[in-house]
Every structure is written in C-alpha cells, then in structure tokens.
Chains A and B, each alone.
Chain A
Amino acid sequence: MRFIIVSARIYFITIAELFHFGVRFIKEVVRPPFEWKEIARQSYLLGFLSLGLVSITAFILGLVLTIQSRPTLVEFGAESWLPSMVSLSIIREIGPVITALICAGKIGSGIGAELGSMRVTEQIDAMEVSGTNPYKFLVVSRVIATTLMLPLLVILADTIALAGCFTAINLKDSISFPLFFRQVFVALNYTDIFPSVFKSILFGFFIGIIGCFMGYQTKKGTAGVGRSANSAVVTSSLAIFIIDLIIAQLSDLLFEL
C-alpha cells in the first residue's frame, strides 16, 4: 500500500514537472535569439537520419497488411476494395502510429541519453556559464526539429507503405498504377488526412519534449542516463497511444456526425 502511494506520488510529480517543462518550451520558443543553425542541424540528425529505418518499416507494413487483408476480401468477392481499404488504415492509423513509435525508440531514446549524459557530465552547466541558454540551445532546437520532421516522415512512410501495397497486389494479381492510384484517392477524404497530419505533429512534439525532459532532469550519474533513455521511450510511446485515442475520439465527434 505504502509502495503504491509513494509511486503514485512520484508519478504525479513527474507529470507536473513535465507539464512545467512544456510550458517553459512555449515561453522560450517565441523569444529571440533563435538558434536556426542548431534547429537545422537537429532536423538533419533526427529527421534525415531516420529515413532509412522508417522507409523499410513502412514498405514491409504496406506489403504485409495487403497480403493479410486479401483473403478476407476475396472471400466476400470484394478484392477490388483492397487498395482503398489498405490505404485508409495506413493513412489514418498505421502510418502515423508506427512511424511515431519507431521514432520514439530511435529519436526519443537518443535525445534522452544524449542530454542525460550532458547533464551528468556538467556539459549543460558549462553551456550556461558560457552565455548560452541551454534550454534554448538543446531543448527548443530538438523539439522544433522533431515537431517539423515527424509529419514529413509520416507522409513519406504513408507513401512508401502504399508502394508496398501496390507491390503486394501485383504479386498475386495485376493492377495498373493509374487504377491503383485512383482507387486510393477515391477512398481518401480530407477528414482522413487532416487528423493524421495533425496527430503526427503532436507525436513529434511529444517525442521531442519527453525525450528532452527525461534527459534534462537526469540525476545520479551514468546509471541515470540509461534510466532516462528508457523512460523517454516508455513515456513517449504511452503518450503516442493516448494522443491517438484522443484524436480518434475528437475527429469522430467533429467529422462523422
């Protein structure tokens, strides 16, 4: 019982601190000077260097999703719906969520570990005494980078997953590219695309801010760095699912009624 109370207390304190950390982001992001160079560098490191991983996963997902949905549709004689059905699930759900989870693993843990080791080796303090606001230089630049890069990665992943879908259909059947393209876009609506892009932006923001928060508040030496990287991944993955749920409910309320 005592254990539960203590862990619940720590849990709520952490949430409050994370909230505070996020509010600080909003205050600092609008205040000059802006660290353009660092934002560009982080966008390259966090976004561009994730292209390979995201592309491979997306292609396989498109392929597998198509292969596995096919028998059911064939049973109902609705094979021709395959492109529309797969594209809907990719663009609405699989594309954003899987890309975000991969990025939580790759980018979130990287940020948590990097800032964590900078904290315990006093590099963050060293920046502060060198006339640099470390929150702005390290945190703001990374969070802006992940918030900008994640939607782009998701759009890329969606496109590649659809290419995977096209490939999978052509393994068993044959469908021309124009027909496939038409079927995909007939099924899609702005009410599918807008929430998907919007939640990708949120995923990017939360992966960045949670990774930075965990790294920034690292304590207790090198063991703490591992813990920070780990909590960055766990917490941001959980956040991704919670945001996904909220956005699903909201878009249901806004668009389907």
Chain B
Amino acid sequence: MDLANADIAIHLKDLHKSFGDKHILNGFNLTLKRGENVVVLGKSGSGKSILIKCIIGLVPPDKGEIEIFGQNTLKLSPKDMDIIRSKMGFLFQSNALYDSMTVRENLEFPLKRLRISKSKENINSMVEEALTNVGLPDAVDLMPAELSGGMKKRVSIARTLIMKPEIILYDEPTTGLDPITAKEITNLMLEVQKIYNISSIVISHDIRCIELIADRIVILMDGINYAQGSFEELSHSDDERVKSFFL
C-alpha cells in the first residue's frame, strides 16, 4: 500500500450522482483520517445513504474518485473490491438482517463467504465474542423476527464487527429507536470504536449521538459538503441553514 496515504482511510473527490435529472451529489469531497469519526449531517432525502453506498460500491457514482486505503476503488476488479470490503463494515439503516437465518447464521455469513476462517470452533468463538461485545450473548439461536428494534441493531453491529473492520459506515444507527436505546447504541458504538480502533463515517440526525461521537461534522447540502467543523463550531455557526440542524 501507498505509504504516503497510510493515515488516510477514505478520500472522496468531486463525487457526482444523479437519478434522471435529479442531482443528488454534485461534487462532494471528504477525507476520513484513520481513527477519526466523521458525522455526515443532512436533511432527509439529501443523499446521505447514496453517499455511503457509493463508498462501499453498492451504487456507482456518475463522476468522481473514491480512494480507500489509497486504492481507487472504482477501478478495482470485483475480487479486489471484496478484499477492500472485508476491511469495511456497513451498518444498514434497516439493519438488513437475513430473516431466513438465525442470529448465529447471520454472523457466520460474512465469515464463511469471505473465507476468513475455516474451523468450526474458530467461527463459533468469533460469533460468541462479537455477540458478547454488543451485550447479547444469549441471542445466538433466535431468529431476527424475535428481536426488538434495539436488539436487531446490536446484532447488526455484531455482524459488522465480526469482520474486524478498520472502517465502519453507519447509516442512521439510532433513528427509530427510543431515546434510552439510542443512547445505549451510541455508547456501544463508542466502545467498539475504542476496542477495535475503527475509523467511521456516521450518518445521523440524532444531536445527542452526534455530540458524543463526532470528531468532525460535515454537512451535506445541495449535493456538496456545504460546511464542516466541530460540533462546537457548527452549532454556533452564523449560517442559518447550518444552525437549523442543531436546534
């Protein structure tokens, strides 16, 4: 890997994406350093989910560059992209747990598919470790339908953590949860961040979550990185449009 970029996890340059004549991203730029937590803030429908789906390669951007660990991912073969993805976690807004599989099978899925480990014992202990880290050691044989919203989110985080990712992209991790559970999930995110030394991009509207998590906040508006700064800076901004997020 390119040593010059060793402390940069993700670098986005001039990202464009439209659907028909609807311009969603219009030249978005972002640099995520290793170990940093960046929060992306934006109105509903402003293209936040599209942005992180571009990063993980689920949605191809129309124009622009995406570099992850110094590699231009838009030019990678599917095989090399899988190697990059095995170092990244993606937390879906809807959790996206496989309903036809138990919690255990959900967690085993990425391990088996990316051939991380072959031995059954090894896989079992990884599943246990991941579930313990999210505080759900007893849920291993339940089906997703039997879990509460907060538990689903935890299992979903466990499924991401089991790959020991270096970067996690969180899509609205606390949206739709009650305030207490939201606080718990936020603390869990902080905790795992510390245990595994993870860099992350967090999409969130939840001011209390943002205040705890964000090293830096980027505001996505009109398809560009409209403003950025610390929580302190942005919440006292002179720009009404920026300030309105913090009211």
Tell me the smallest distance from the CB of B189 to a CB of chain A, in Å.
18
Q: Which residues of B contact A114 (CB under 8 A)?
A: 100
Whether, in the assembled complex, A129 has its beta carbon less than 8 Å from a beta carbon of chain B, the answer is yes
A143 to chain B, nearest CB (A): 18
Q: Are B114 and A123 in contact (CB under 8 A)?
A: no
B interface residues, tally (CB under 8 Å): 22
For residue B216, CB closer than 8 A to chain A, the reply is no
B113 and A123 contacting across the interface, CB-CB below 8 Å: no
In the complex, what residues of B have CB within 8 A of residue A123's CB? Answer: 96-99
* Complex interface: chain B residues within 8 A of A131 (CB): 82, 85-86, 110, 113-114
Tell me how far the C-beta of A135 lies from the nearest C-beta in chain B, rounded to whole angstroms: 11
In the complex the two chains form, what is the Cα distance from A128 to B57 in whole Å? 9
Is A121 an interface residue, CB under 8 A from the partner? yes
Q: Does A176 contact B (CB under 8 A)?
A: no
Shortest A122–chain B CB gap in Å is 4
Contact with B along A130-153 (1 / 0, CB 8 A): 111100000000000000000000
Q: Is A126 an interface residue (CB 8 A)?
A: yes
Q: Is the CB of A130 within 8 A of B114?
A: yes
Please tell me which one of the listed residues A121, A122, A132 contacts residue B113 in the complex, with CB atoms under 8 A apart: A132
Q: Are A126 and B92 in contact (CB under 8 A)?
A: yes
Contact A130 B58 (CB under 8 A): no
Tell me if A125 and B58 are in contact (CB < 8 A).
yes
Indicate which residue in B90, B94, B100 contacts A129 across the interface (CB closer than 8 Å).
B90
B98 touches A129 (CB 8 A): no
Please name all residues of chain A whose beta carbon is closer than 8 Å to the beta carbon of B110 when the two chains form the complex. 130-131
A180 to B110, CA, bound (A): 57
- Quick one: which of A121, A122, A123, A130 has the most chain B CB within 10 A? A130
When C-beta atoms are compared, the residue in chain B nearest to A114 turns out to be: B100
> Are A130 and B109 in contact (CB-based, < 8 A)?
yes
* A128 contacts B58, C-beta separation under 8 Å: yes
Contact assessment for A121 and B94 in the assembled complex, using a CB-CB cutoff below 8 Å: yes
- A-chain residues with CB within 8 Å of residue B82 when the two chains form the complex: 131
The secondary-structure label for the interface of chain A is helix
Complex Cα spacing A114 to B100, Å: 10
A121 neighbours in B (Cβ, 8 Å): 94, 96, 99
Contact partners of A129 in chain B: CB under 8 A: 56-58, 85, 88, 90
In the complex the two chains form, is A125's CB within 8 Å of B92's CB?
A: yes
Interface flags for A103-136 (1: CB within 8 Å of B; 0: not) read 0000000000010011001110111111111000
Contact call A126/B85, Cβ cutoff below 8 A: no
Report the minimum CB–CB distance from A255 to chain B (whole Å).
45
Bound complex: CA of A129 vs CA of B91, how far in Å? 10
88-119 of chain B: CB within 8 A of chain A: 88, 90, 92-94, 96-100, 109-110, 113-114
| Contact residues in A for B53 (Cβ distance below 8 Å) | 125
- Contact across chains for A126 and B96 when beta carbons are under 8 A apart: yes
Are A122 and B86 interface neighbours, CB within 8 A? Answer: no
Inter-chain CA distance A125–B49, complex, in Å, is 13
Minimal Cβ-Cβ distance residue in A for B92: A122
A88 to B22, CA, bound (A): 59
Distance in Å: Cβ of A179 to nearest Cβ of chain B: 50
Task: Report the minimum CB–CB distance from B100 to chain A (whole Å).
Answer: 8
Sorted nearest first, the 10 A-B pairs with minimum C-beta distance are A130-B110, A126-B96, A131-B114, A122-B96, A131-B82, A132-B113, A122-B92, A129-B90, A131-B113, A123-B96
Interface contacts beyond A121-B96, A130-B113: sample of 14 additional A-B pairs, CB < 8 Å, sorted by A? A114-B100, A117-B99, A118-B98, A122-B93, A122-B94, A123-B99, A126-B98, A129-B57, A130-B85, A130-B109, A130-B110, A131-B82, A131-B110, A132-B109
17 contacts between A and B (CB under 8 A): A114-B100, A118-B98, A123-B98, A125-B53, A126-B90, A126-B98, A127-B109, A127-B113, A129-B56, A129-B57, A129-B58, A129-B88, A129-B90, A130-B109, A130-B113, A131-B110, A131-B114
